[in-house]
Amino acid sequence: MWKIVGGIFLGWGLGSNDCANIFGTGVAANVIQYRTAILLTSVFLIIGALLEGYKSMSTVGEMSNLSPTSAFIATFAAGICMGVFSCLSLPVSASQAIMGAVLGIGLITGIPDLSNLYKVVLCWVLTPIGGIFVTTLLYSPVGKLFANVLLDIQRRTALIRAGLFLAGCYGAYSLGANNVANVTGVYVGSGLLTPFHAALIGSLSIASGVLTYSKKVMDTVGKKIVELDGYSAFISTLSAAITVHVFTQVGVPVSTSQAIVGGVAGIGIIKGSGTVRKRTVIEIAIGWVSTPLSSGVLAYLMMWIYINLFGGNT
């Protein structure tokens, strides 16, 4: 069972990187305390993973029919990349990290089934677009509803605060339901874990990353793309949660990082492109492109060393 350590490490990296996507905007807007945010994220992502995590397991499992050792190498390589990007304070995609690692190993073993790859890549492209679309769809009508129903500013502020809490909890649920497959889905494909045990172990490892090392990326998402008020933080968080949950029903693990960046960028589009910090967006985009490439190269090298220097088999 030591081979699941790679998945646990990847889960820690995912949690440290992706908690920012859930409550980062709320923390940056000074609506939610950081400690409250990480505790709520941990609880609700575990619930989401246990209730709906199985829906995306099949996609990862079918594309990564790896041996237990190959699964360990794939998750460990992806975990290293996630950890590095977290240290650089960049929100990146665990989906891209694990798929890049699987494809890197596949260049040696020829194992991955690429018939579903087009579906996964298409969903990656649509994720930030979906975040932008939902944000622009909700921003004005929900704002008018709040203004018309609650004329008292204090009550409106309280409602936005409550809405942000609920949207964050929903986002954490969607994170667990969708992204736990990135962490332990390869072990389901290898036959090492059942979907339930994969969801349990994966969600606990993600929660460990949330609780220990999530603040740096949270600052990038919440403060360095667009300055957000409480209402904008609520809409962008809700948009990301809806986007990720929709893809969960499709059965494809996608990036909560891309969803929330799309949601925040949607706020910038509404308020005017001049409010968007383009340098931060470019840095994030570079991280997205380099994530599957770096994890794929690293997994390839690790697998090559395992086979050629240690006489391992695939």
Taking only the tens place, the pLDDT of each residue in 263-274 is 988 988 888 755
Identify the pLDDT of residue 261: 82
> Could you tell me the residue ranges of all domains in the chain?
2-308
- pLDDT tens digits, residue range 67-94? 888 889 999 999 999 888 888 877 778 8
pLDDT digits (tens, 9 = 90+) for 162-218: 999 999 999 999 999 999 999 999 898 888 899 999 999 999 999 999 999 887 777
pLDDT (0 to 100) of residue 152? 74
Residue 133 is predicted with a pLDDT of 96
Least confident of 37-46, 140-149, 246-255, 292-301: 140-149
User: How far apart, in whole angstroms, are the C-alpha atoms of residue 178 and residue 160?
Assistant: 26
The residue among 21, 3, 1 whose CA lies nearest residue 209 is 21
- N- to C-terminal Cα separation, the chain: 17
Q: Which of 178, 176, 201, 187 minimizes the C-alpha distance to 74?
A: 187
pLDDT at 209 (0 to 100)? 92
Res. 52: pLDDT tops 90: yes
Q: Which pLDDT does position 179 carry in this prediction?
A: 93
- Average pLDDT of the chain to the nearest whole number: 85
Instruction: Convert the pLDDT of each residue in 57-66 to its tens digit.
Output: 877 766 666 7
Residue in 279, 217, 280, 278 with CA at minimum distance from that of residue 25: 217
Q: How far apart are CA 41 and CA 127, in angstroms?
A: 21
pLDDT at 62: 66
pLDDT at residue 283, rounded to an integer: 65
